[in-house]
């Protein structure tokens, strides 16, 4: 009965692979409204946008940072207006508290209520993100259409341990990003690996085009728990829509990898207690 009940949990998810106009919130908001309207017209339950959805991956937090959370308020309004859940990235200005900002990804439901507000765990030091952003310290867990979700952001994809932690509860994980074309092979390989090793659906949504002097090819994709790429979009902006059924427990029962994990042993090895 558990498997049959779970198999009925389905979701129609849209991934908006946008060309983000550099630090131009107002124009990007307009583009987002069109994407949200189109996703709702096509019957999507949720639409997910890339990291820093309406500014691009900018370290200019004087321009991108928000204290009044205007992006959150606008997305709440659009979710209610179009009767669709929305996931989006934005910059939270925490400078009064700690001198830095946070890279956030928020998900709101059809009624505009905030389901999840996640701060990126791993600032990308290679680009200087750590100089102006502090890392978060809490995993994101939320439910959509009766399905357990989690989310990470871009560079987090390189850290498998946090995905193992999240997948203890999550059956679907969303990874919004601004991942450059020159490392697109890493993006594809890591997304597939995270799906397979955690036996989850991995929804990876990236931007496309030239933004802030960096070229992006998108390569947004939906990957099943067995590593199959069920949908993908590369090279230009557009929107993927995939209908997914939560069969994760069936997959895990049929091939019980998680049952064989020895977490306590891994911690001991990491701490040097066993040689």
User: Could you report the per-residue pLDDT of 215-269, keeping only the tens digit for each?
Assistant: 999 999 999 999 999 999 999 999 999 999 999 999 999 999 999 999 887 877 7
Percent of the chain with pLDDT over 70: 96
In sequence order, what are the residues at sequence separation of 6 or more whose Cβ sits closer than 8 angstroms to the Cβ of residue 76? 108, 112, 113, 114
Q: Which residues pair with 90 in a beta bridge?
A: 104
Cα distance between residue 170 and residue 198, in whole Å: 9
Q: Which two tokens stand for residue 82?
A: 């179009």
CATH class of 2-247: alpha beta
**Residue ranges covered by each domain of the chain:** 2-247
Q: Which two tokens stand for residue 70?
A: 């205007």
pLDDT digits (tens, 9 = 90+) for 144-179: 999 999 999 999 999 999 999 999 999 999 999 999
> Which of these, 229, 228, 238, lies nearest to 50 by C-alpha position?
238
Q: Which two tokens stand for residue 8?
A: 């009925």
Query: 46: pLDDT confidence band, cut at 50, 70 and 90?
Result: very high
Query: 274: pLDDT confidence band, cut at 50, 70 and 90?
Result: low
What is the Cα gyration radius of the chain?
18
């Amino acid at each position: 009965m558990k498997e049959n009940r779970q198999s009925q949990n389905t979701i129609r998810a849209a991934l908006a692979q946008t060309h983000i106009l550099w630090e131009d919130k107002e124009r990007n908001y307009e583009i987002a409204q069109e994407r949200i309207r189109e996703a709702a017209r096509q019957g999507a339950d949720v639409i997910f946008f890339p990291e820093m959805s309406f500014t691009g991956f900018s370290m200019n937090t004087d321009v991108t940072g928000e204290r009044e959370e205007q992006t959150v308020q606008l997305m709440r309004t659009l979710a209610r207006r179009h009767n669709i859940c929305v996931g989006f990235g934005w910059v939270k200005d925490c400078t009064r508290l700690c001198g830095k900002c946070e890279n956030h990804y928020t998900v709101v439901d059809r009624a505009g209520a905030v389901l999840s507000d996640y701060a990126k765990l791993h600032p990308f030091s290679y680009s200087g993100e750590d100089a102006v952003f502090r890392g978060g310290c809490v995993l994101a867990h939320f439910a959509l259409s009766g399905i357990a979700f989690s989310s990470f952001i871009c560079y987090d994809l390189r850290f498998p341990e946090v995905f193992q932690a999240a997948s203890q509860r999550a059956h679907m994980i969303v990874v919004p990003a601004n991942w450059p074309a020159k490392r697109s092979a890493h993006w594809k390989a890591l997304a597939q690996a995270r799906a397979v090793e955690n036996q989850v659906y991995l929804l990876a949504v990236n931007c496309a085009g030239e933004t802030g002097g960096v070229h992006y090819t998108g390569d947004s994709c939906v990957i099943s728990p067995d590593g199959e790429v069920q949908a993908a979009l590369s090279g230009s902006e557009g929107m993927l829509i995939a209908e997914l059924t939560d069969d994760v427990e069936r997959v895990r029962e049929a091939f019980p990898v998680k049952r064989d994990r020895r977490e306590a042993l891994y911690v001991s090895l990491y701490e040097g207690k066993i040689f």
